[in-house]
Structure 1
Amino acid sequence: MKILTQDDLPIRQDTAVAIGLFDGVHEGHRTLIEDIENQEGLFSLVYTFDGKPNHAAYKNIYTLQEKEEIFADMQVDGFYLQAFDRQFSQMTKQEFIKRLVHDFHAKHITVGFDFRFGKNAEGTTDYLREQSGKYGYTLHVMPRIEYHGEKVSSSYIRELILAGNMEETAKLLRRFYFVDGTIEKGNHLGSKIGFPTANISTDKLLPQYGVYATIAQVDGNLYSAVTNVGTKPTVKSDDTPNIETFILDFSGDVYNEEMRVYFVRQIRREKAFANVDELKRQIASDARSASGMLENLEVYKDYIIC
């Protein structure tokens, strides 16, 4: 996949352009991508925008780098990130269409049913359709997609993640939700009680605090694992959340290695135990549960980015 910048414009080949924020690259977004990839003879291009800033009250589902990786895995030809600066925010709806046609050579455009564009969000899908003959492009508007009566949206998926519902999340993302990080040195308590863990930190959205059956990806290899997300109330006194993964049937030094943790299913909610021995027994039970769920990793390959 080619990452395009302003320096690459105007594009010299005809394109099919999918436009959106793509904060989750979920089932609805995939429909947009499939549409542009089905346009024979056209360069498939994702045109997206700076996401909402990541902060305490709003955590992104994916980072920009992760979105680029996902689109590449989906075999999109090109990716363009539009800076949502003041100049762009003042662009009229007609100027935006002219930009798509001139700078991106758009011959086919696909958007969601509620897509708005241009200054003060004055542009609508109806306006895009009205202008298609004048500017020589075809238009596909993806209808509203629902799941269990809810609109499939990044907001809905965020709710599922926060509720620890990783199976429903995976259905709508068509991949397991994942978190990346560099493995850090912890306090070695896990090693002392027989369960050495790999700890990573992230500023991304975290699932509900609890214990999960996970798949750990280290150095290109996949391992069954069990992961605790939370504050470790039995052994830690502050409220700083962490992600602590016990990789099953694995030994070796992985400190400073990059690790990706795919969340498959919640085993239980986080809880405080009376003592470390009780915690140790529960971890052993959690590990057995995760091992049973993840006995054959091959069945999960379609939900993993390799």
Structure 2
Amino acid sequence: MAAVIFRNDPAFEDAILDRASVAFGVFDGVHEGHRFIIGEAVNTAREEEVPSAVITFDIDPDEIFAADRLKKLMTNETRIAKLAELDVDAVVVLPFSREFAAQSPEGFLNACFGSAVPSHIHIGSDFHFGRKAAGNVESLRAWGAKRGMTVHGHELVAEGGVPVTATRIRGLLSEGKAREAASLLGRPYTLAGTVRPGRGEGRDFGFATANLEVPPLLLAIGEGVYACYAVVEGERYRAAVNVGIPATFADTANQNIEVHILDFDKDIYGQAIEVEFVEWLRAMRAFDSADELIATVQANIAWVRENL
């Protein structure tokens, strides 16, 4: 596990980055393309026998500049923790703000690195920084050349002839394509939340649910019913999951994730659970009768039991 070092911690020392080989980016999702760039930074570090590091921000810049349309793939805390699981010596977390971003590209880089400049920096070819995102790979090369830093601008990893990006993964998830998104993430798309009391209809119908309220910013997955795994106290259980407000109960519903965990009847109110999305089963819809609702849900549960 890599050391996580926050730049705004009084104990931070610029020297951690001096002559190191680093990968720089936001890395929301820590997906296949991100891991390639970080892996290249590690390879360079090993070849030159220098430390390796990931440089990232404490928040996603789009939380400031595109908050109305952003759907994050994970929380900032989870993103940083996932980066720390990779084979690097350190994860350096820079505080991001509107003022920080408004600096000139050169001022931005000076603020990032101080007097300690890496020997190598690995970035994606779409890397931009500074005021109005005016900085790019070429301007970073010019800045680095004066300081003995080699800049490696990598073409984005592609799958199916299309670059692997967080935006592409968000698009797949919004369409319910959980399996396709997982292939680009390198793992199932996962949501976490705390179990809250729900409406109670599920228990009345014979399939109790654990109800999660997830902030819209973190709800990248599209509405529908999914085959999933639920992780409760470290144990994985098969689950059928509704995402979105059930149309039949639209007047009284507020939970946006309802998790029916198969073969499970513990009281987990107030506990945090994780949901791993595996397969889209059907769209959300209103039912003409309780019997039709029950039969459909039972069929979804049977599919999960037989296929997961």
Q: Same fold (TM over 0.5)?
A: yes
Specify which of 180, 190, 194 is matched with residue 182 of structure 1: 194
Residue 83 of structure 2: aligned partner: 71
- Which secondary structure state, in structure 1, belongs to the residue aligned with residue 37 of structure 2? helix
Is residue 10 of structure 1 aligned with residue 14 of structure 2? yes
**Mapping 1:1-306, distance limit 5 Å:** 1-6=3-8, 7=10, 8-12=12-16, 14-38=19-43, 39-40=45-46, 41-48=50-57, 50-51=59-60, 52-53=62-63, 55=67, 57-203=69-215, 204-237=218-251, 240=254, 242-294=256-308
Identity percentage over the alignment? 32
After TM superposition, the structure 1 stretch with the greater mean CA deviation from structure 2, 75-84 or 152-161, is 75-84
Q: How far has the Cα of 1:144 moved from its partner?
A: 3.0
- Judging changes above 3 Å, is the alpha-carbon distance between structure 1 residues 64 and 171 closer, same or farther for their aligned structure 2 residues? same
Comparing 150-159 and 280-289, the one that deviates more:
150-159
Amino acid of the residue matched to residue 229 of structure 1?
V
Separation in 2, partners of 1:59, 1:131 = 33
Partner of 1:300: none
Q: 1:31, 1:142 within 8 Å by CA — same for their partners in 2?
A: no
Q: Distance in 2 between matches of 1:57 and 1:102?
A: 33
State the AA in 2 paired with 1:135.
Answer: R
Does structure 2 conserve the Cα–Cα contact (< 8 Å) formed by 1:101 and 1:107?
Answer: no
Q: Structure 1: how far apart are the matches of 2:14 and 2:23?
A: 17
Q: 1:148 to 1:252 in 2, by over 3 A?
A: same
Residues 212-255 of structure 1 show CA distances to partners (whole Å, capped at 9, x for unaligned) of 01111111111111101121112332574510011112221111
Paired positions, count: 294
Give the superposition deviation at 1:202.
0.6
Distance 2:24 2:85 in 1: 18
* Residue identity matched to 1:26: H
- The 2-side partners of 1:192 and 1:238 are apart by 15
| AA partner of residue 219 (structure 1) | E
Q: Is the 8 A contact 2:7 2:95 kept in 1?
A: no
**Other structure's SS at 2:249 match:** coil
- In structure 2, the residue matched to 1:302 is none
CA positional deviation for 1:25: 2.3
C-alpha displacement of 1:147:
2.9
Query: Which TM-score applies when normalising by structure 2?
Result: 0.86
| Cα shift readout 1:125-184 (whole Å, capped 9, x = no counterpart) | 123334444312222211033333433222211110110000110011111111111001
User: Which amino acid letter does the alignment assign opposite residue 159 of structure 1?
Assistant: G
Q: TM-score, normalised by structure 1?
A: 0.87
What is the CA–CA distance in structure 2 between the aligned matches of 1:101 and 1:85, rounded to whole Å? 16
Shift of residue 201, structure 1, vs aligned partner: 0.8
AA matched with 1:43: S
Q: Which runs of 5+ in 2 are unaligned?
A: none
Shift of 1:69: 2.2
Q: Secondary structure at the match of 1:28?
A: helix
Matched position secondary structure for 1:234:
helix
Q: Which residue type is aligned with residue 20 of structure 1?
A: G
1:290 offset after TM fit, Å?
A: 1.1
Q: Measure, in 2, the Cα distance between the counterparts of 1:114 and 1:276.
A: 52
- The 10-residue stretch of structure 1 (61-70 or 194-203) with the greater mean CA deviation from structure 2: 61-70
Deviations 1:192-214 (A, max 9, x none): 22111111111112422111011
Cα-Cα RMSD: 2.3
- The question of whether the paired residues in 2 share the 8 Å contact of 1:4 and 1:78 is answered with no
SS at match of 1:11: helix
CA distance in structure 1 between the aligned counterparts of 2:51 and 2:268, rounded to whole angstroms: 44
